[in-house]
Amino acid sequence: MAEDMEKEDQHLKEMGSLPLKENGHGKIELITIIGEVEGHEAVSGNTKATKYEHLLPKLAQIENDNEIDGVLILLNTLGGDVEAGLAIAEMIASLSKPTVSLVLGGCHSIGGPLAVSADYSFIVESGTMVIHPVRSSGMFIGVAQSLRNMEKTQDRITGFLAAHSNMSQDRIEELMLDSTQLVKDVGTMLEGKEAVAEGLIDEVGGIKEAFQKLRELIRAEHSKAPSDQDKK
């Protein structure tokens, strides 16, 4: 028993995921996305990070495991690598298993697509969502092509947010380019109720509500006729 718990603790520490015990409501896999979303370059050793090379195979494993009924995603991230974040978000959105996300603390920048990629999203009342334009680090060549590439990347983010939430792409871009909200940046910070009022997040709630919704989605999935399952 102690050995199993030690293995689970080690798995959670290294991979940020944990299979929750079956309690009559279906088997749920817990995934955490915290700190900085690490992409092709490793972040500082002192920085908490979610590594996409860990999450992508984990999500593939979840999709392929018939014993897993649903996925709960806990988020508290300041953002990070755009390509890695979008890759993870697309993987979550394409899962056939029911998914619910819960924003705790902050979910900024590329964290936005990660939060809305689930079938249903929650945010605690004190949580925040920050929408801001794409940034670039390192060398930047000051030519028109560079600007167009940045605009295309930004369009991919706003398009994903609009497709997986109840906000229009125009409204997202309006908030993204607001210069009156943030002291040192362009963009908008939405607190829990504001994020729901704008349609970015589905509901204000905590872990209890997230579990209740996920169990509801799992029950609905199980109640589908076999023919519907085959079509999916």
Residue type, 196: V
**40 annotated active-site:** no
Rg of the Cα atoms in the chain: 18
64 vs 70: CA distance, rounded Å: 12
Q: Which of 194, 174, 171 is nearest to 103 (CA)?
A: 194
Tell me the β-bridge partners of 31: 17, 73
Place of tokens 């009559």: 24
What is the distance in angstroms between the CA of the first residue and the CA of the last residue of the chain? 38
Q: Which residue has the tokens 């229009």?
A: 168
- Among candidate residues 17, 101, 108, 109, the one labeled active-site is 109
Please tell me what DSSP assigns to residue 23: -
Cα–Cα distance, 188 to 173 (Å, whole number): 10
In the chain, which ranges are continuous DSSP H helix? 2-15, 52-64, 82-93, 111-116, 144-163, 169-176, 192-197, 207-222, 226-231
Structure tokens at 130: 């920050």
State the amino acid at position 206 in one-letter form.
Answer: G
Token pair 């169990």: residue: 215
132 tagged catalytic: yes
Q: Which of 101, 132, 164, 165 is catalytic?
A: 132
Query: Token match 């995934």: residue?
Result: 31
* Active site members: 109, 132
